[in-house]
Structure 1
Amino acid sequence: MITFTDVENNEYQAQCEIEKTDAVNGEKSLSGTIYFGQDVKANIAKGWTLSFLDEEYVVVTYTKNDKENTVAFSAVQAFFYKMSKTGFYEKWNGSHPFASYLDALFAGTGYTYDNTASVAAFEKQDWGMSDRLSLFNDIIDQASVEFSVEGTVVHVVPAMGSDLSTIVRKKFNLDTAEIQTDNTSFATYGRGYGAYSKPNDTTSKRLEVEYKSPLYNYYYPKFGAIEAVPVADERYTIAENLLAAVKEKVDKSWAISLTLNLVDLQSVGYKYAMANPGDYITVIDESLNFSDKVRIIKVTSDYDIRGTRTKTEVECGSLSFAEQQKTSQSTLSNVAAGKIPVPNEWLTSQVQLATNSLLAARTELKFTDQGIIAIDKSDANKVVILNSAGLGVSTDGGQTFKSAITADGVVADRLFGNLISGITYETKDAASGYTIRLKGGAMELLKGDDLVSGINQNTSGSTFNNFEGHTLSLSQTNASGVSTEVLAIPSSSTHDSPKLSVYGKINTRLKFLSDGVIQADNLLWLGSLNGVNIGAFGSDGTFTHRIDATSSEVKVFGNFTVYNGSKNAAQVTRDGIRATPAYELAENYVGDIGEGKTGDDKTVRVDIDPLVFDLINTDKPYQVFLTAYSDAHFWVSERGKDYFVVSSDSPDSAFGWELKGKRRGFEDQRLVDTKDTYEDLEKMEGLIPNGNQNVQSNS
């Protein structure tokens, strides 16, 4: 019986014939026909789900056949349906870590992921604004990884499946087989182009490699070099890694597709597990002259109304041609002909005997000449062996032990624990060639065999070392995985000429101390070849208030306020350098000084300098101060907009004048409040150590 659930989570039972399809990185899907279950047949609608083999599927289509009183339907596994119906409303550009893409896609979906694949950051252009399933498949393809779904957890792995010891042989458990080859992409030669010698110059020389397959010389006389599409990726900086990528592309250019039907021997008591998508099996068919190791790409199984699997069709693709050459064809032929027993790494007679004994026994354990062997009764691919050599755990019937403890060490896909102690730990990214090594209480970071940087400890503390010729950066990364450099030791820095580049904003007060005490000779120098700019950002993002210092002058933009001191000009005198303080007023004035002489009519017009007139606002009252240089009395008889008139009681009389007018744009300023408090001044390194000495009493 199959359980169906409607939109309101009401459950109904039905009997169906079902065809189930599982594929590597493809949708898990069902198609079926409902024969019994009137409530389901009458009411099935959009939003219904069903549970099959402990997995939830969403019904996407259904067709009612009134003549036969049946309902045909199709359904997809819930993950694929929900992700395809959920949008991602952002658009990303640039390079991001693989985990950042996954985090963004899985956020808020109810699904989580477990990633065990090592994938370097990669670049996308206009990635987003689509359904999450399409975007997920896109980055899975880009990263060249695979995935499987278990409940609400999506497992991202370098490759699915296991290399099984299962042999599928004609007239034993192979019913029919059909082989199809595809050489449309066949290549014998490939090239690779990696990083530029100058990273920011695309005209500079690139890292370049080439590869010729074992079949190159065979096909060259007739076709010449049969070239694959070149691998062009600037992330490759090591020739060996780039060559490996080109080699893989050429060697996998010849594909073999195999479709076969397996007789499900489990129904007659054969306990060895059927293979799953991603698994590798060995297929032998003498009539087709085929004997090779192939990978299962898709499995389609038929189930009757009792839930019994009645037929399984498997679609396979071969290993690459280069990998095929590693398989001993003579051994396969001898096995197929029955001349020699199946090799131990496939399925030994001893293991077969032990398997039968264990399954028939009351206990899971059996002592054999190979040691103590435990085999899972429901899945014979799961094997544990214990002997004098060590302990091993296998998921492929004992062919390989990916988790093992021997005298040579511990091998495992994953290690879990609160503390892992040891002498040396090393992890390496094959694509980029970068390595992190923990060794003797220190950390080393390497690029290939070249030591780039590291963390060491000594008697004075911890040291983060950057080796000459490399850049050490401290960056800030946002939620999208985009990084901005904040602090860096550039590659041009050396031991004798150390350099530091600061790109971020410094949010602190800098103090330069000697033994914890501020010293006069502990100076801070800021300098560059062309000049130094110190400023604060305005609301529009520009430096509205700043000081610009060059080799010839210093400019101040914005208000300039001096605390606890005066504005001085330094003058050379016969007794050394003396300070001449600036004249301070309560209001903002601009002045000018000159001399004049009244005429025969005892008056003279003095025109205000046009440039001075531009600086002052003569619409406001301005002041003229007169000094007599003759035996006469002087006064200002008229103040015009751009002139003033001086009169005297005697003709032809000399005088001096001083003009003071309010600065244009600052006419209303008078003793401007700085908004600073006494408490603020106390924080400014002792500006008022004995109280406010600038305030005097009126009493």
Structure 2
Amino acid sequence: MALHAIDHNNIPYMVEGITTVEEQLNGDDSLTIELTDSPINKDVIKNITESWKFSGVEGNNDRTVYVVKRKAVSTIGKFKKLVINAIPLFNEVFNTTRLYNYYEGEFTADAVLSSLFNGSGFTYQLPPTFTSSKYIESYGDGQTKLEIFNNVLETFELEFKVNGNTVELSKYLVNRPDYIISDTINAANVQQEIDGFNFYTYAKGYADVTDGDPNSLAGISREYTHPLASVPGVGKKHAPPLRLSEETDPAKLEAALKTYVDNSLKVSITSDFISLRKQYPEAVPKKADEVMFVANNISYKQMVRIVGITTKRNHMGDIITQSVTYGDQPLAKRHKANVNFATQFINELVKGRRTISSTMLDSAISTATSLILNAKTQLDFTSSLGIVAKNPDNPQEMVVFNSAGLGISKNGGKTFRNAITGAGMVADVITSGTLNTQLVKIEGTTGAFVITGDTLTSVDVKNPDKKTVISAGNVSVWGGGFSAYRPSGVPWTVNGVPKNELVVQRIWFTSPGVSHTGQMFQSANTTPSSFEAAYFNHNGSKLTFTMAYTLAPNSASSSVYGFIRVREFGATGTPKEWMAQVLVKRGSIDYISESVDIGEPGYEERSFYLEFWIDPASAPSNTMAVRCNKIAQRG
């Protein structure tokens, strides 16, 4: 089992569960782990808390360590479920350590990074040919190392990836692997997102100018116009001026202007990645890969760069699903990044580390004044009722806005009906028309019941993975959100899991040295020895069984240790295995029952050996006897 939880004393514990890793190029990678109180987990998950660590997410060879930052506990029927959010150890270390000394001067990237990584447990690598005319003028004074590190990335236009304990930095991380991504081979559910909210076709740039001085005093000024500006339906869309205060090279300002405008239209492609490692072992997506992407359904064929990967795995590290983002980040993730940047910007303003230029303030004041003066031509700000808006074609129709809310009147203000109050919008004032659910979302107070577009969705607010979606001609249920009962009222399926047991075919399959006494198989072997083989189509998620065991009467000892194992063979992927060490006693028959997670049903054929043997460290002349009382699939 690959997935391990590591306590505060660095003691590892094997656990089983589902992991989801979100990777972003130069972004905040994160890990979500879902654990239930299975027999393997139950003694561990009750102790997991903040600052525990997890490793082995991608398999036995994965040495990436994640630190727990948040956990949430819920119940699924009689079982307990733990959802854990964790971040890479590098992010944790750099976000929880600070530089208290204040450094002021002209510092190169290497100088700043050297002070950041000193004593951190991590090392860094800059490209051998890295040069830059830029400097960081000040840092420290209580800033976290992560804040300073992000400033280095922004100032020197660097990207990074963490490889073990080494942080590799580059001007432009790029891999050119030998595979393509196509919706006819290894991509599904392709989505293209085009964000034109900050799309510009024209910009002016200023360089060699002192902070605080207006742009008109800049030593260098340039402008750039995109070819799309000549298209009648597009035209000139002015971007905010680009200001590179310390730049003295006109060519670099021109290049920066072109990049600034050309990249203002954000295009991202997201798709599910179908892992075909047996057929295409080299087709393993990694951040910064540049590959040919072909999506025939949307007529898209272009060399793209992988900027984000979301991967769901089981506890063995086997991939369950994988989603890849190519090009720019999707709008929602850019918005989150922008909010984080804005928060940091405001904090630096409060601490006096940043200033706002007078030209920026003058522009904001002018714009606000213009908006207010324009509004006065449509609104009455002097009424005792509040802000009053009258229909110029019919003065009897009025809208009033005051501290009580928004009211509407059809009789010149004699009576009003509330339209919007502090409690929300009043549906009674909607006079006619059809609510177009392509434009409007209807939802309950908790968000558990939503109608949008042509789809009705019901979600368990305590477990968002548990939901039911009804669309035209189709009902889909996830996360066990389905129960059905027989006419007698006895449950047939509860929370998506059938209550009945599924057949498992068994045959005698004895190793040398194993015999049958009529009731039990017995052997004095000290190496794994099979006594039965089980065959079945994979229709359930659990393999349940009960074994009986004892020490034969002619044994030399009164008790010895032995082993019982259920081992898969003939598997195409990683074989499942369960093993227990038991104390075998002469004169009494003991029992062990277990339920082994064999993964979500795929309806393929599965095969398992049932094995037993005596601990080689035990005294000689002992014979262990076992039998399988029951074996079945459930769930």
TM-score of the aligned structures, taking structure 1 as reference length:
0.42
Could you tell me the TM-score, scaled by structure 2's length?
0.46
Q: Which has the larger radius of gyration?
A: 1
User: Larger RCO: Structure 1 or Structure 2 (Cα < 8 Å, ≥ 6 residues apart)?
Assistant: 2
